Amino acid sequence: MGHAFGLGVPRLGVLAAALLGLALLGDWQLRDRPWQAELAGDTPARPRFELSQETFQAQQALLEQSLAALAPQRPGTVDLYGIVYAPYAQDVFLRESAMVADVLAQRFEADGRVLQFVNHAQATATTPWATPTNLRRAIAAAAARMDRDEDVLAIYMTSHGAMDFQLASRHSPLQVPALTPADLREALDEADVRRRVVVVSACYSGGWVEPLAGPDTLVMTAADATHTSYGCGSRSELTFFGRALFDEQLRKTRSFRQAFEQAVPVIKQREEEGGKTDGFSNPQLHMGERIAPVLDALAARLDASRAPAAALR
């Protein structure tokens, strides 16, 4: 009985070692990218799109149309421009990106100044792809429309996050590179965008704070650098962070700081009720000293402009 299926004992040992190595490698990758373990048991297969010459041409046209349609800045008025970036083809991120784009447009007088980038089969015909190249082009286009001494660029990114702080991308069969904090910082610096609001809804997103922080930047993240966030499963309507911060609090206030402070205890309570096992996500906020008064003044102006209409009702 020295053979089994034609393999000698030494070869079986080598094969067993190789299989063990693959298992350990897979286990390590799942620890580094915990959403893979969660999604492995998800039921419905995510829809795919057809990668064709026509698709590429249509996408290029969509991108050009979106960038060209950006509304110009208004002299003497602090305008907010927005970019919403959802690079992982999953329903929750599709919904969240649409919700955030709507909140920015409606609550911050940014209608016509918000660009949306989504990887999802349902959005392929209507929305440009969320790729690092398209994001860089969007930042450059917004910078060209803005008064960079006066206006603010807000970027909201929602996806899965890894322990090395990369923002996951998936849009099969299209190959999309992951995005890193250094990628975003480089794009913002190259475009000379000076006043920045960066929001990252992903696991371990606290790792984005230090690379992006500065006196003219507000950074808010769904978790610290060592914890996962919650609500990014296939059955989630919105992430816990996006729901509490944008869909709830920023519909009541236009102060990013106040919305964040009010959202955090809500997120903590919901995580506890949901049975989150690896500890509180611990969302992070870093407010630069020069961006704080700019955002406070923007919120005050917008609140004042809405007050007469509210009084008439």
Q: Give residue 236's pLDDT.
A: 82
The answer to whether residue 31 sits within a structural domain is no
The answer to whether residue 232 sits within a structural domain is yes
* Host domain of residue 204: 71-302
The answer to whether residue 26 sits within a structural domain is no
The answer to whether residue 141 sits within a structural domain is yes
- Over the stretch 135-193, which tens digit does the pLDDT of each residue have? 999 999 999 999 999 999 999 999 999 999 999 999 999 999 999 999 999 999 999 99
The answer to whether residue 61 sits within a structural domain is no
The answer to whether residue 280 sits within a structural domain is yes
Record the pTM.
0.86
pLDDT above 70: residue 200: yes
The answer to whether residue 237 sits within a structural domain is yes
Q: Give residue 308's pLDDT.
A: 54
167 bridge partner residues:
161, 179
Which CATH number is 272's domain given? 3.40.50.1460
For 171, counting Cβ atoms within 10 Å of its Cβ (0-12 exposed, 13-18 middle, 19+ buried), the class is buried
Q: Give residue 306's pLDDT.
A: 73
Give the chain's domain count: 1
The answer to whether residue 34 sits within a structural domain is no
Distance separating alpha carbons of residues 93 and 86, to the nearest angstrom? 6
Spell 69-86 as b/e; 16+ CB within 10 A means b: ebeebeeeebbbbbbbbb
Distance separating alpha carbons of residues 296 and 244, to the nearest angstrom? 20
